[in-house]
Amino acid sequence: MKGVEEVVVIGGGHNGLVAACYLARAGLSVTVLEAAPTLGGGSRTEETIPGYHFNTHSAAHNIINMTSIPYDLDLFGAGLRYVEMDPFAIGVAPGQPVLRFFRSIEATLSHLAVDDPSEAARYEAWIDWAVPLVDAAVGFLEGGGPRSGLGAALAALRALRRLGGPASMAAATLAPYGSLLSRLFATERVRAPVAAFAAHASVGPDAAGGAYFAVWQAAYHRFGQWHALGGAQALADALALRLDSYGGRVVTGCPVDAIETRAGKVSGIRSAGGERYPADAVLAAIHPQVALDLVEPSPDGAVVEGLRAAHTGSAVQLVVHVATTALPAYQGAQPGDWNGLQSHVGSIHELSAGFAEAQSRRLPVRPPTYAFTPSALDAGLAPPGHHTVYLACPCAPAAVDGGWSVHAEPFAEAMFDQLEAHAPGFRDSIVDWHVRTPELMARELRLPGAHPMHLDITLDQLGPLRPTRALGNHRTPVAGLLLAGAGSSPTGGISELPGRNAARRLLADLKHKHR
């Protein structure tokens, strides 16, 4: 394309790589600069324990598989393979049978009805109510794919009719998901595992506007939950291969020291090693505040100050990688029970207490915990006969008195206690373990506040309002600098939509410029 010889993408995570693929495919000269020795960012898989491979951040992929991106870039032709996690979630509690949520709504209802037909009826009514909301959201997230445009608008109208109009829809989606689930269901046995999955987004059950994170349960029934064979790294590897086929290049081990500008426009990138990469445009697939802090000379004005006001809660994720000789022995477990998220959360109150403590930068007394066991689906992640158990607490404080080095081990031990209570013998199966604290994640990913989504995912920081209304179109006050990371529009997580949409924005700007 005329007018742009060089585009530099800062950040070799999935969003940066997707943006680079779309730009290189369009004929631009693209270089990706990644600070770490390997690509992947939040979608890395590493041998954190010798012989055992763990996802360092993302544990399951769903939004990306609701979009056209894997097909548009032919990532399957580049080696990416997904296997479905079905059931996508289970709930476990001492003395109770395993509660299963299958991709099939019919199978889920049949399972729920065995113990509680009335709760099954409530679940059926709720999912029937929620599906139009999910369809509308997916259509708008896709933004240009097969479910966008008229289809998304029709889905939104169906949702409005189902909910009784705009006022009813607003009341349903602006509520905290804790109160929503308490109204919908009679038992914590159903509420708790649904809430545990909602909390996966680092949103607590008392957060206003959080109801949609519980409604997203319907999306798992509609579109499934997926594990990338080989771990989350397989996504980054497929993107890197596809980028290479388009003529793009990657430089790893290259932290960026500055985004250089001239007369208010991007002119190049200076690495921490002193190398300079000339650039006519830069896409920053990193934390938006870090991106603007790199600009020299520093920009000012209301747009920049507005970004500083974007909020990031103190409750973030802590992850423990556990190498074991066996899968957790849940009472009455059946084949498939280790495929998806395994909730060890006992109640919504337990989650509420954990988030309240973390927001006050205190340690939850009983850390809410959920588990993934990807080796149950992907045997190559562990030695023969062994397994990988990924434990996560969605509400660990980003910072604590004395630092996480003091608290990491007892915090992990408290999580082990919950697994042991629900799966006797779990402790005896442990070979080794490794804690990924918020401090470690913040340092590795240059991530202020250690938030896995960069910024809170709340209604005022979603879609065209992410990270702020002024920056929701990916453009910044610096000409040629666009935001493309998880903290930019439309959302965080493994969706790749911020990267694709930022690339589309740049290509549209260039087309307009050269008319």
Q: What is the pLDDT of residues 421-456, one digit of tens each?
A: 999 999 999 999 999 999 999 998 888 888 989 999
Q: pLDDT averaged over the chain? A: 91
The residue count of the chain comes to 515
Is residue 194 domain-shared with residue 337, that is, in the same domain? yes
Classified as helix, coil or strand, 24 is helix
Q: Whole-model pTM?
A: 0.93
Q: What is the pLDDT of residues 84-115, one digit of tens each?
A: 999 999 999 888 889 999 999 999 999 999 99
Give the count of domains, the chain.
2
Is residue 352 domain-shared with residue 203, that is, in the same domain? yes
Tell me, what's the pLDDT at 146?
35
In a domain, 221, yes or no: yes
By DSSP bridging, strand 281-284 and strand 481-483 are parallel
Q: Is-contact 126 112, C-beta < 8 A? A: no
In a domain, 68, yes or no: no
In a domain, 79, yes or no: no
Is residue 160 domain-shared with residue 272, that is, in the same domain? no
Choosing from 390, 413, 446, the residue where a domain stops is 446
Q: Structural domain of residue 102, as residue ranges?
A: 86-226+313-446
In a domain, 64, yes or no: no
Q: Is-contact 271 33, C-beta < 8 A? A: yes
In a domain, 306, yes or no: yes
Q: pLDDT tens per residue, the chain (515 residues)?
A: 555 579 999 999 999 999 999 999 999 999 999 999 999 998 999 999 999 999 998 889 999 999 999 999 999 999 999 999 999 999 998 888 899 999 999 999 999 999 999 999 999 999 998 888 888 888 878 764 334 445 555 666 666 666 566 666 666 677 899 999 999 999 999 999 999 999 988 899 999 888 889 999 999 999 999 999 999 999 999 999 999 999 999 999 999 999 999 999 999 999 999 999 999 999 999 999 999 999 999 998 999 999 999 988 899 999 999 999 999 999 999 999 999 999 999 999 999 999 999 988 899 989 999 999 999 999 999 999 999 999 999 999 999 988 999 999 999 999 999 999 999 999 999 999 999 999 999 998 888 888 989 999 888 898 899 999 999 999 999 999 999 999 999 999 899 999 999 999 999 998 877 66
Is residue 306 domain-shared with residue 322, that is, in the same domain? no
Is residue 156 domain-shared with residue 267, that is, in the same domain? no
In a domain, 265, yes or no: yes
Is residue 193 domain-shared with residue 101, that is, in the same domain? yes
Measure the CA angle with vertex 436, ends 435 and 442; round to 5°: 155
Is residue 251 domain-shared with residue 203, that is, in the same domain? no
Is residue 437 domain-shared with residue 457, that is, in the same domain? no
Is residue 417 domain-shared with residue 461, that is, in the same domain? no
Tell me, what's the pLDDT at 94?
85
Tell me, what's the pLDDT at 134?
87
Is residue 94 domain-shared with residue 180, that is, in the same domain? yes
Is residue 283 domain-shared with residue 400, that is, in the same domain? no
Tell me, what's the pLDDT at 144?
42
Q: Is-contact 394 314, C-beta < 8 A? A: no
By DSSP bridging, strand 430-436 and strand 341-343 are unpaired
By DSSP bridging, strand 315-324 and strand 430-436 are antiparallel
State the amino acid at position 352 in one-letter form. Answer: S
Which has the closest alpha carbon to 68: 158, 154, 149, 156? 149
Which has the closest alpha carbon to 285: 482, 143, 458, 57? 482
> How far is 254 from 33, CA to CA, in rounded Å?
6
In a domain, 167, yes or no: yes
> 312: which 2 tokens?
């990031």
Is residue 392 domain-shared with residue 427, that is, in the same domain? yes
Q: What is the pLDDT of residues 187-223, one digit of tens each?
A: 999 999 999 999 988 899 999 888 889 999 999 999 9
Q: What order do you get walking across the sheet with 99-101 strand by strand?
A: 99-101, 89-91, 341-343, 370-372, 387-397, 315-324, 430-436
CATH number of the domain residue 47 falls in: 3.50.50.60
**Radius of gyration of the chain measured on its C-alpha atoms:** 22
Choosing from 387, 421, 446, the residue where a domain stops is 446
Choosing from 446, 476, 494, the residue where a domain stops is 446
In a domain, 66, yes or no: no
Tell me, what's the pLDDT at 4?
58
